[in-house]
Amino acid sequence: MDKVYESPEAAISDLADGASIAVSGFGQSAGSPMSLLEALHKRGSRDLCLVGNTIPPGAGPLIDERRVRHLIMSFTSRAGRLSATDELLADGVMTYELVAQGTLVERLRAAGAGLGAIYTPTGLNTPIADGKDIRYFDGRPYVLETALRVDYAFIAAHRADRSGNIEFRAANQHFGPSFAKAARVAIVEVDEIVEDGELPPERIDLPGIFVARVVRTTVPNTLPKYGLKRRPADVAREYHGKPGWTRVQIAEQAARLLPEPSYVNLGLGIPSYVSSFIKDRDIVLHGENGILGYGDIVDDEETYPDVFNATGVSVTPRPGISYFDSVTAFEMVRSGRVDVVVMGAYQADAEGSVANWATPEMTGGGIGGAMDLVASTQAGGSVMVLMEHCDSQGRPKLVQRCTYPLTGKACVDVVVTDLAVFRRRDGALTIESVAPGFTAEEVWALTDMEAHTPRT
């Protein structure tokens, strides 16, 4: 059963206008099927629905030419950045549905498994759950999410044989398996095609029964593979002429608070720097892209190809590291096997609620995996938030009640800002320690919540 096609153009020759296409890719461009996207652009297809974690870089021309009618994404917008996509969404030219990352892959997996829907704890008490059925199981609430079937899946992988068996490399598996299983026609572009039998069975990550077509990659991915350029991590923000902790120092403070032994998820941005302070401690780091047991950040993408964290930054593989898809990654979180989740935020409030996916200036937002991660608290996990004390406009990020759309309600246990470490006690945040040169009174004056002193 030879599934190899001569070119990306041949592989999509039957793709009709109005098709729904799940497109793989993590970070800025890791795992993006650039060859298939270019062939799609050349084909002139219109009225498309794109499904994915974030808008793939190769889809930019399709969006600019208004050939995409609908997006189903975990990220449609980024804070502080205005794109052509934002303008089209704001004008209603293109519509969208925001889906939490773990829910996205689970809806696609459900479609591939022949299921009609799933119930998940993700999204409770947030706008994502508005209007959806809520059911209780064992006394806990769950949100109904329907299966998500697509016409096509465009996926990038490392190697394939002629029967369509697929091998991904390291952490670049992420969305590939769930996207392929949900598709009527799954097309995979690969770096290398080998004869049947040349892929060791134990290295087949996606069996050929889920793959309809295979092509060789023809368009090199010349974009930065992992993430956008990071902000300076060693420059401190000043408050009243005094420097707080740098972003790296915030991460260092957080690392000291992590228990041992533990499994710890590190989210985007500041939390990613925590890995530099784990060293030989009995802590195993987890990333929702499908990685468990990584170490320090490395400065290049070639030392350890396709080994990257959830921020999309290259990291060191530690002894015992393992790789898997995003479905498995979120199973680890929602089941409570990850002990601590460390994430960034736009706001956190006195009752421990957190908002980190949308601000009033954004159209849509960037949910990513955060809602799935805070759902871990239902199974006994702990949530730690790392952020600067005020935003770029000088507005406090610690508030009495979140005014931005919630990611999770009353779920945060610890907050570390560039001015202080806070812990939730007696239903409110209390200060445990402050940055050098500051007093607790100065820190409280820079928040928008009532000061709280723990009981003695």
Residues marked as catalytic: 288
Q: How far apart are the first and last CA of the chain?
A: 73
Residues whose CB falls within 8 Å of the CB of residue 445, separated by 6 or more in sequence, listed in order: none
Distance CA 114, CA 123 (A): 23
Residue burial 112-145, b: 16+ Cβ < 10 Å; e: rest = beeeeebebbbbbebebbeeeeeeeeeeeebbeb
Q: How far apart are CA 117 and CA 109, in angstroms?
A: 10
* The two structure tokens encoding residue 176: 């590939």
Sign of CA dihedral 390, 396, 397, 403: negative
Please tell me whether residue 13 adopts helix, strand or coil conformation.
Answer: coil
CA 411/CA 394 separation, integer angstroms: 25
**8 A C-beta contact, residue 166 and residue 193:** no
The Cα 297–Cα 447 span in angstroms is: 32
CA dist 16 and 425 (Å) reads 57
Q: What is d(CA 135, CA 142) in angstroms, rounded to the nearest whole number?
A: 5
- Evaluate whether 102 touches 372 at the Cβ level (below 8 Å): yes
Q: Measure Cα distances from 301 to 20, 39, 104, 297 in Å.
A: 32, 27, 27, 10
Rounded to the nearest 10 degrees, how much is the dihedral formed by the CA atoms of 360, 364, 368, 373? Answer: 60
Q: Residue 136 and residue 295: Cα distance in Å, rounded?
A: 39
CA-to-CA separations, 344 to 198, 366, 427, in angstroms, rounded: 44, 12, 21
Residues 391, 429: Cα–Cα separation, whole Å: 19
